[in-house]
Amino acid sequence: MSPPTELVRVEDLQVHFQAGRARPGETIRAVDGVSFSLTAGQTFALVGESGCGKSSVARSLVGLNRPTAGHIWFGDIDLATANRRQLRQVRRNVQIVFQDPYASLNPRMRVRDIVEEPLRVQGIARPPRVAEELLELVGLNPDYVYRYPHQFSGGQRQRIGIARALALRPRILVLDEPISALDVSIQAQIINVLMDIQQELGLAYLLISHDVSVVRSVSDAVGVMYLGKIVEAGADVLDHPGHPYTQALLSAVPSTDPRLRGTESEIVLEGDVPDPAHPPSACRFRTRCWKAADRCAEDEPALVDRLGRGGRTACHFAERLHTTVNG
């Protein structure tokens, strides 16, 4: 990641929420020290199960959550301390595609108004056929601009959502579970649209997903999140997992090779994800980890390169586990 193409640098991001009235005074540590950077033309993916804080990271990046601590650098603007004008400026460059294409389009607006909305709210002049061009860019018939969202299928709606996100010609696109609400048959289409657009426009993607196989096929680098922290990150962590949690995640993905069925040892984690208001001390995964030792409760493993392969792993026993499973 050479400095000139680095578009966003997230440093030790923390997003905490005050718990509701039922649990007064408690702090939910949704994101608790996450760092990564986004590079033009590349996809960085955050994977993890629901509730691990990956969507909170995405929302912080588009300015929907204020970071509690840490920094989100867009050039020399830090979202954590940005004023209103700077925030608006950043928002021109970072756009978001939401998970649920049924909830993310206002049912009362025509496609033209939906797609042109970012231009309007930013006060940018709208060329006469901008909506049509955006629809073409995502593979929709430009004649659809007069229709309402409910006249479209889920996949078409998601294309409209992508067209809207591209209206401002952003440099960074945050994809918050962009395909998980779609039929499996449509998912590949949407992924292809996104990949084509990335190539064409050189966008940096932050892909939020819990679908390990999709992430593996499209991302250039991956961060595996667990309970608000990245436990493992790197280009090939999904092919050569070093962290026990990554291994558990991967073993839950069904194999596409029938000959391998039944031969793979599936790792089934016990218990639930701990309460993010009271995370375990030191290593957060130790309560469900089959390798946990006394050391894990006292000495938090740093996210560093432990395997000498360019990735970073936050586990004291990363090396050994790596060799055990992947041989």
Partner 1 sequence: MTTIESHPSRTPTRRRSVARAARKYCGSPMAVAGYCILLILVVVALMPGQLAPYDPHAQNVARALEGPSGEHLLGLDQYGRDILSRLMHGARVSLAVGLLAVSMALVVGIPLGIAAGYFGGWVETAIMWVVDVMLSIPGIILALLFVALFGSGVVNMSIAIAIGFVPTFARLSHSPTLSYRQREFVQGSIAFGGRSLWVMRRHIWPNLRSQMLIIGCLTAGTTIRIEAGLSFLGLGVAPPTATWGGMLRDGMLYLQSVPLYSIVAGLAIFSAIVAFNLIGDGLRDILDPRTPERPVG
Binding-site ranges for partner 1 (CB under 8 A): 59, 62-64, 87-88, 91-92, 95-96, 98-100, 103-109, 117-118, 121-122, 136, 138-141, 143-144, 146-148, 150-151, 156, 164, 168, 189, 192-193, 196
d(CA 178, CA 215): 12
Residue 96 contacts residue 165 (beta carbons within 8 Å): yes
Considering the complex, what minimum distance in angstroms separates the CB of residue 152 from partner 1? 9
Considering the complex, what minimum distance in angstroms separates the CB of residue 91 from partner 1? 4
Residue 118 or 301 with smaller CB distance to partner 1: 118
Write the DSSP assignment of 60-97 as a string of letters. HHTTSS--SEEEEEETTEETTT--HHHHHHHHHHEEEE
Residue 10 or 105 with smaller CB distance to partner 1: 105
Q: Which residues of 234-249 are buried (b: 16+ CB within 10 A; e: fewer)?
A: beebbeebbbbbbbbb
Considering the complex, what minimum distance in angstroms separates the CB of residue 98 from partner 1? 4
Residue 160 or 238 with smaller CB distance to partner 1: 160
Residue 15 or 314 with smaller CB distance to partner 1: 15
Considering the complex, what minimum distance in angstroms separates the CB of residue 218 from partner 1? 17
Considering the complex, what minimum distance in angstroms separates the CB of residue 58 from partner 1? 10
Residue 53 or 63 with smaller CB distance to partner 1: 63
d(CA 261, CA 258): 5
Write the DSSP assignment of 135-195 as a string of letters. HHHTT--GGGGGS-GGGS-HHHHHHHHHHHHHTT--SEEEEESTTTTS-HHHHHHHHHHHH
